[in-house]
Chain A
Amino acid sequence: MSEEVKSENKIKRSASSRTRTRKPKRSQIPIGIAVLLIVIAIGVLLTIKSVNLGIFWFIGIIFGFILQRSRFCFTAALRDPSLTGGTSLTKAVLLAFAITSIGFTAIKYGAFIKGLPIPGQGFIAPVSFGTVIGAFMFGIGMVIAGGCASGTLMRVGEGFTMLMITLLFFIVGSLLGAYNYGWWKLNVILKGEPIFLPDIFGWAGAIILQLLFIGVLYLAADKWEKRKNNIK
């Protein structure tokens, strides 16, 4: 950040606009330390009550911290390629998918070779027309609202007021979705077939295929960025 400012500190602005809004900044470090202590205290209290609650608390906090600091944004990953031609976040999301693919395969395969029940198999939902409808609705919603689910929560925590309205309707939408889920499940979702790639391609085949697919998307994103910006 500071190096950025130094290297490009050559734009001459009128003196009036430069001094206008400048206020002395207060150090946030004491507040930061206080919040950290409160977070740890709540974490300890939750862990005493239930270890799982404590784990959820800390993972949630770490998740939010990384999301905020990295400005990682699933919305921008899918929106920026057409809006700005930038695909840096798209590539970041693809990398994250690649890493989690390897991680999940390791967890599932680890359980499989030990003869244990494979964790998370209950989450393999059928691929149906519902996937298409849901993805389309969610995609439009998140671009208009300015954030996907995790992004909305992160920005509310950051103190961005507009996303609080988004959060309200995010809850309304979730409740409506849950209320109507029975109909969707009966009429749309169950018409599809649940697919677990290792059942079809074998464990090695599934992970290789998935990584290849992600790799192709990565290269496509890279090419798209260069074409959109006419980089020689």
Chain B
Amino acid sequence: MKEVVLECYGEACPIPLVKAQKKIEELDAGDILIVQIDHSCAMKNLPEWARKDGHNVEVDEIDDGEWEVIIEKVV
């Protein structure tokens, strides 16, 4: 089981989303992708996409205006 951190600080949407979509393709089921973002808009579309894609998603506000979206690849 791998754990990959994808740092997307300072990047506006949809860049974090596109990067996460590309990264998750490289991972195997059970791997964890942690996307670090500070863009409130990505906070909405990242979890929305990941849940629809069928992954487990958890959002963690690590600081004011900084989040980690933790995605566990399921399929």
User: Which residue numbers of A lie inside 8 Å of B, CB to CB?
Assistant: 1, 4-5, 8-11, 13-14, 17, 21-23, 25-26, 28, 68, 71, 73, 76, 79-80, 83-86, 88, 143, 145-147, 151, 155, 158-163, 229
Query: Which residues of B are found within 8 Å of A4, using beta-carbon distances?
Result: 59
Q: Are A86 and B48 in contact (CB under 8 A)?
A: yes
Query: Which residues of B are found within 8 Å of A11, using beta-carbon distances?
Result: 32, 56, 58, 70, 72
Given contacts A21-B63, A28-B64, A162-B11, contact A8 B52 (CB under 8 A): no
Query: Which residues of B are found within 8 Å of A162, using beta-carbon distances?
Result: 10-12
Q: Are A73 and B56 in contact (CB under 8 A)?
A: no
Closest Cβ of chain A to B69, distance in Å, is 11
Q: A1-B59, A8-B57, A83-B14 are in contact. List 15 more A-B contacts (CB 8 A).
A: A5-B59, A10-B56, A21-B66, A26-B64, A68-B40, A73-B44, A76-B14, A83-B17, A84-B17, A84-B52, A86-B45, A145-B12, A146-B12, A146-B15, A160-B12
Query: Which residues of A are found within 8 Å of B41, using beta-carbon distances?
Result: 71, 73, 76, 146-147, 151, 155
Q: Are A161 and B48 in contact (CB under 8 A)?
A: no
CA distance A217 to B60 in the complex (A): 35
CA distance A171 to B70 in the complex (A): 37
Q: Is B13 an interface residue (CB 8 A)?
A: yes
CA distance A155 to B11 in the complex (A): 12
Q: How many residues of B contact A (CB 8 A)?
A: 35
| A-B interface contact total, Cβ < 8 Å | 92
Query: Which residues of B are found within 8 Å of A21, using beta-carbon distances?
Result: 62-63, 66, 68
Given contacts A83-B17, A84-B48, A86-B45, contact A9 B58 (CB under 8 A): yes
Q: Are B45 and A80 in contact (CB under 8 A)?
A: yes
Query: Which residues of B are found within 8 Å of A71, using beta-carbon distances?
Result: 40-41, 43-44
Closest to A24 in B: B63
Q: Are B13 and A160 in contact (CB under 8 A)?
A: no
Closest Cβ of chain A to B29, distance in Å, is 13
Closest Cβ of chain B to A157, distance in Å, is 11
Query: Which residues of A are found within 8 Å of B32, using beta-carbon distances?
Result: 11, 13
Closest Cβ of chain B to A20, distance in Å, is 9
Instruction: Kindly list the 9 A-B residue pairs having the minimum CB-CB distance in the complex, ordered from nearest.
Output: A146-B12, A84-B49, A71-B44, A11-B72, A21-B62, A229-B52, A11-B58, A162-B12, A86-B48
Closest Cβ of chain A to B48, distance in Å, is 5
Which of A10, A25, A158, A229 sits near B40, CB closer than 8 Å? A158
Q: Are B45 and A84 in contact (CB under 8 A)?
A: yes
CA distance A59 to B32 in the complex (A): 44
Q: Are A146 and B13 in contact (CB under 8 A)?
A: yes
CA distance A47 to B62 in the complex (A): 40
Given contacts A17-B5, A76-B45, contact A8 B58 (CB under 8 A): yes
Report which residue of B10, B12, B44, B58 has the largest number of chain A beta carbons within 10 angstroms of its beta carbon: B12
